[in-house]
Amino acid sequence: MEKVNINPDWVFSPQPMYIIGTKNENGTPNFCIITWIGFSFDKTPHLMMTIGGSKLTKSNILRDKMFSANMITEDNLWLADYFGNTQGEEAMKNKVSYSYEWGKCLEVPIVEECHWAYECEVSKIIELDGAHLFLAEIKNIQIDKKYETMDLKKIDLTELKPAIYAPYHYFSIGKKLGEMGEWERYIE
């Protein structure tokens, strides 16, 4: 296979999407979409998230050091699209119907329409050039009761149906290709 070089850019960054929930200074919830998220482990599970520019969500996290990360799935994608295309700094995001409750462990808003949500407490902030990288310990995970019997060591994404973002487009997960350790079946 012949390869060519391209300049580093946002050209290919398919990633899951999350509705990030924070509490405003007046106690109301705030939601925005973030895709720059990854996971890590250091004695406990952590979520890593980068937020660039000026955002109410970022200001709330810098103040309170906590947030929720609500996974976006095929059935709540358009709510997420709304949150991602409106500014919380301008007004409350309430032009569409949704519901929320406060976290069980931390005082962060959890979107009721989301099937999987993390309650996160920030343990480290790294200031970048125009952005902040948040390293947050996952304090609690709330999942839809219908996933209670799912094997959480081998999560089937075709059952969970996360929405995937690749610049300016949304995708769903296709079919399951196989399981770890089956490589001998597929190598010629």
Q: Give the tokens for residue 127.
A: 């200031």
Angle (nearest 5°) at CA 183 between 181 and 188: 165
pLDDT confidence band for 72 (50 / 70 / 90): very high
Tell me the CB-side half-sphere exposure of residue 83, using CA atoms within 13 A. Answer: 26
80-116: pLDDT as tens digits: 888 887 765 555 556 678 899 999 999 999 999 999 9
CA dihedral for 135, 77, 113, 156, sign (positive or negative): negative
- Top-confidence residue, 53 or 22: 22
* Model pLDDT, residue 154: 86
Q: Looking at the domain assignment, is residue 5 inside a domain?
A: no
Q: Looking at the domain assignment, is residue 72 inside a domain?
A: yes
* Model pLDDT, residue 89: 55
Q: Looking at the domain assignment, is residue 119 inside a domain?
A: yes
107-166: pLDDT as tens digits: 999 999 999 999 999 999 999 999 999 999 999 999 999 998 988 888 889 999 999 998
Domain that holds residue 151: 15-186
* pLDDT of 9 strictly over 80: no
Q: Looking at the domain assignment, is residue 139 inside a domain?
A: yes
Q: Looking at the domain assignment, is residue 1 inside a domain?
A: no
* pLDDT of 13 strictly over 80: no
Count: domains in the chain: 1
Query: For residue 136, what is the domain's CATH number?
Result: 2.30.110.10
Q: Looking at the domain assignment, is residue 4 inside a domain?
A: no
What's this model's pTM, rounded to 2 decimal places? 0.89
Smallest Cα–Cα separation from 163: which of 85, 100, 71? 71
Q: Looking at the domain assignment, is residue 9 inside a domain?
A: no
Three-state secondary-structure class, residue 56: helix
Per DSSP, helices labelled H in the chain are 56-64, 77-84, 157-160, 183-186
Q: Are 119 and 101 in contact (CB under 8 A)?
A: no
